[in-house]
Amino acid sequence: MENNQIIKEVSIEHGKVLINQSEFFTGETSDLGPFLKSLYKQLNLKYNKYFKMDHLSKLGFLASEVLLLNEGIANETDEVAIILANASSSLHTDVKYQESIADIPSPSVFVYTLPNIVIGEISIRNKFYGEHMFFVQPSYNKEELLDYTTCLFNSTPCKYAIVGWVEVNRNGDYSAKLMLCQNKK
């Protein structure tokens, strides 16, 4: 991690949002759907594509919005990378899709999930053109993600990276842990 500096960390779990381990927002409930709705309202966002996303994508998207609050990296669009990971990938959407076709098969459902969409939505919304990577890992491993970020910083012109973990489990547990890293080389 020699050329990585973590500028900001955001954690979302159990109805709470922490920025650098200080409380930023607590929802009235920790239930994922209502919590995400209240966080979206708290951030005063106006982003219509948000309503097409599944819970996994919404969690990742909102975590990135909190991470980028007041950071002023908007002019660095060519030099911002996004590196995200989780264990179940698109499990939430896959389960919902399976439920929706239980009685009537439908191959026309478009799966709007974290790996294929949230990184794109973060990039589109912020006009980030840097490197993008999504990992499926058995559990959150901050050191491994930061090691990859160091490799990325050593081999590309990226100045910043959004790095972290976004997970929604079948039992309703959820977690987002994002870091904004700066290349200090």
Whats the size of the chain, residue-wise?
185
Q: 8: pLDDT confidence band, cut at 50, 70 and 90?
A: very high
Q: 82-86, 88-92, 143-147, 157-161: which range is least confident on average? A: 88-92
- Residue 136 CB-density burial (10 A; 0-12 exposed, 13-18 middle, 19+ buried): exposed
Per-residue model confidence (pLDDT) at position 177: 97
Per-residue model confidence (pLDDT) at position 178: 97
| % of the chain at pLDDT higher than 70 | 83
Per-residue model confidence (pLDDT) at position 77: 76
Per-residue model confidence (pLDDT) at position 93: 57
DSSP string, 87-104: SSTTHHHHHHHHHHTSSS
Calculate mean pLDDT across residues 154-181.
Answer: 90
d(CA 47, CA 41): 11
pLDDT tens, residue by residue, 32-85? 999 999 999 999 999 988 888 888 889 999 999 999 999 888 677 778 999 888
Q: Are the C-beta atoms of residues 165 and 85 closer than 8 Å to each other?
A: yes
pLDDT tens, residue by residue, 100-129? 667 766 555 555 555 567 788 888 888 888
Per-residue model confidence (pLDDT) at position 72: 82
Q: 136: pLDDT confidence band, cut at 50, 70 and 90?
A: confident
Per-residue model confidence (pLDDT) at position 41: 96
Model confidence at 92: pLDDT above 60 = no
H-helix or E-strand spanning residue 85? strand 80-86
Calculate mean pLDDT across residues 82-92.
Answer: 74
Q: Are the C-beta atoms of residues 122 and 128 closer than 8 Å to each other?
A: yes
Per-residue model confidence (pLDDT) at position 106: 57
